[in-house]
Chain A
Amino acid sequence: MIHKKVKRRKAINHLAKFMFLLATLLTLSVLGILLCQIFLDGKEYVTLDFITSFPSRFYEKSGIWAAIWGTIWVMAVTIPLSFMIGVGTAIYLEEYAKKTMFATFIQMNIANLAGVPSIVFGLLGLTIFVRFMGWGQSVLSGGLTMTLVVLPIIVVAAQEAIKTVPKELKEASFAMGATKWQTTIHVVLPAALPGILTGTILAISRAIGETAPLLVIGAMAYVAFVPDGLLSAFTVLPIQIFNWTTRPQEEFHGLAAAGIIVLMIILFIMNGLAIWLRNKFQNTSRK
C-alpha cells in the first residue's frame, strides 16, 4: 500500500516540476517576444548618427545625443545623493537606532515609500524643487526628484545587506574595544558592500527607465543642446522615446524602437555589472 503512495507522490512531483518550468518559459518568452519586436522595428535606425544627433522634426536627422547626456546629468545628481543618504539611513536604522516605536514607525514608512507610485514623487518634486526652490525644469530638479524615487529602494536593499553581516563578526570587533563607528566602517560595510552595490545599481537602472516623475516636473522632449550645468534644461532617454511614439509618422516609431534598444543595452550592462560585482565580492570574502 505504501508503495502505491510513492508512485502517486512522484507523479505529483513531476507535475509540479512541469508547472514551474512552464511558468519560467512563459516569462522568458514574453521577454523574448518584446525584444524581437523592438529589435525588428528599430534595428535599421540604430546608427552612429542616431546616437550623436540632436532631435529634429525630420526623422532622418533625429537622434538621442541630448537625451543620453540628459540621462547622464540626472544620474550624476541622483547616484551620489541617493547612495550616501540611502546607505546612511540604512546604517542608522540597523546599527544605531534603538528598537523603539519611533524606529519602527520610520521603518514602516520607508517600506511604504518604496511602494508609492513614482508619479507621486514627480508631483512632490514639482512642488518643492521646481516651484518652491525655484530651480525650474532643470537637471537639478530632475536629479533630486529621481533621488526621492530610488531612495526608499536603496535604503531597504542596504538594510537587507547589513542584516546579513554575521553577528559574530560585529561581536569580535566590539569585544576588542572598537566603537560602533569603527565596527561599521571596518567590519559591517565591507561585508555588506556587495549587497548594497547590487541593490543600488538595480535601483539606479530602474531610475534610468523611469519616465513619469520627470514628465511631471516638465523635462522637455525637444532639447537641441547638451546640458551645461545643474540648472540647464534637459531631456532623458525614456521621455525622448515617449515623445517619438506619440508622433503620427511611422518613421518616428522606428526611432522610438531604436531609442529603446539603446536604453535596453544600457540597462543590461548595468544589471550585468551588478551581477559581476556581487560575484566578485562574494568570492573574495569567502576565500
Chain B
Amino acid sequence: MEITINRKPLDKVTESENEGRQAVHSIKLEQANTTEELPAVFKINELNLWYGQDHALKDIQFTIPEKQVTAIIGPSGCGKSTFIKTLNRMVEMVPSVRMSGEILYRGRNIFDSKYNVEELRTEVGMVFQRPNPFPKSIYENIAYGPKIHGIKNKKVLDEVVEKSLRQAAIWDEVKDRLHENAVGLSGGQQQRLCIARCLAVEPDVILMDEPTSALDPISTLKVEELIQELKKNYSIVIVTHNMQQAARISDKTAFFLNGEVIEFRDTGTLFSTPSDKRTEDYITGRFG
C-alpha cells in the first residue's frame, strides 16, 4: 500500500521533468504560452492588493487553466495565501483591504458589484491550512453545504454525504461512525473530511491553502493522491510551501516573490529550467 502511495507522485515528477527537458530542447519560448490553449477558469488581470499601506500583491497577471493543478510557491510573506484568498473573495474579511484590477472567473469579473459573493463561493470551494471541521457529527459536516443551499430531502443528503466522502477517499474509514463528532478524527482524516465537505457543494474550482502543512507525511501523501484523483473533475489551485509537493502534484506552477509573479509556466519546465535567476535561487534553496 505504502509503496504505491510513494510511487505515484515520484513517477509524476520524473515524467514531468522529462517533458520539461524535451521542451527545452525543442520549443523553449512557446512553453510559457501553452496555458493559453487550455480553457481558462480564472483570468487575472493587473491585480493589485493593499493591506492598509502595505502593497501585498503587485500587478498579478496570469491565467489558471481548467482541470489542472496549479501550484503557487514562494517564500513566507510573498502574498501567495493572500492571492488564493482573492480568488473566492475571502480576503475581503480583512477589514483594511483594498484591491484594483480584475479577476475573471469563467469570463465574469468577480469584483463586479453585481457578482454575488455567495454564488462565487459555491463555485469556488476552499480547503484551509489547518483542518477546520465543525464541532458536529461527520454526517452534519458534509451535509452542511447542501443544507445551506436549500437541500432538505434526507435521501438526497444521504447520497451527497456518501458520494462526497467516497470522492475524498475517507468513506471506508468513517462509514460506521457517521454520527460521531468529527473533532474526534485524526488530523489527516479531518483534512480529507474538509475536502469532502468542500466537494459536497459541487464546486467547479477547489482552492487549497497549504492543505498539508499541518499533517504528517503519510496523511500528506494521502491528500496528494486525492488531489491527483480530483484533478479529473475539478480545477485545483494549491498554495504550498513544499517545492517537492508542487513538483509532484501540479501541472502549472507560479512562483511568487514579494507580491509579484516572477514566473508562471509548466511545472516541469519551471523546476528544470527556470528562466528567472530568482526562481532558480529559490528552487535550489539559496533563499526562502
Residues of B within 8 Å of A191, CB to CB, are 135
Q: Chain A: how many interface residues by the 8 Å CB criterion?
A: 22
CB atoms of A171 and B90 under 8 A apart: yes
A35-43, A149-157, A175-183 - interface stretch: A175-183
Residues of A within 8 Å of B88, CB to CB, are 175
Residues of B within 8 Å of A284, CB to CB, are 135, 181
Residues of B within 8 Å of A177, CB to CB, are 118-122, 145, 148-149, 201
Number of A-B contacts (CB under 8 A): 69
Q: What's the Cα separation between A189 and B197 when bound, in Å?
A: 20
Contacting residue for A176 out of B93, B130, B133, B145, CB 8 A: B145
Q: What's the Cα separation between A287 and B134 when bound, in Å?
A: 11
Closest Cβ of chain B to A170, distance in Å, is 8
Given the interface contacts A176-B201, A177-B122, does A99 sit within 8 Å of B95 by beta carbon? yes
Contacting residue for A286 out of B118, B135, B149, B197, CB 8 A: B135
Residues of B within 8 Å of A169, CB to CB, are 132, 134-135
Closest Cβ of chain A to B164, distance in Å, is 12
Q: Which of A205-233 contact B (CB under 8 A)?
A: none
Contacting residue for B181 out of A173, A175, A186, A287, CB 8 A: A287
Residues of A within 8 Å of B184, CB to CB, are 287
Question: Does B13 sit within 8 A of A, measured CB to CB?
Answer: no
Residues of A within 8 Å of B111, CB to CB, are none
Interface 0/1 of B117-141, CB less than 8 Å to A: 0111110011010101111000000
Question: Does A187 sit within 8 A of B, measured CB to CB?
Answer: yes
Interface 0/1 of A83-104, CB less than 8 Å to B: 0000000000000001100000
Question: Does A172 sit within 8 A of B, measured CB to CB?
Answer: yes
CB atoms of B122 and A176 under 8 A apart: yes
Contacting residue for A171 out of B128, B135, B181, CB 8 A: B128
Q: What's the Cα separation between A179 and B147 when bound, in Å?
A: 12
Closest Cβ of chain B to A186, distance in Å, is 7
Closest Cβ of chain A to B10, distance in Å, is 32
Residues of A within 8 Å of B128, CB to CB, are 168, 171-172, 175
6 smallest beta-carbon distances between A and B, as pairs? A177-B122, A168-B132, A175-B126, A177-B121, A285-B135, A176-B145
Contacts from A to B (Cβ < 8 Å): 98-99, 166, 168-169, 171-179, 182, 186-187, 191, 284-287
List 9 additional contacts besides A171-B126, A175-B121, A175-B198; criterion CB under 8 Å: A98-B95, A99-B95, A168-B128, A168-B132, A172-B132, A174-B90, A177-B118, A191-B135, A284-B135
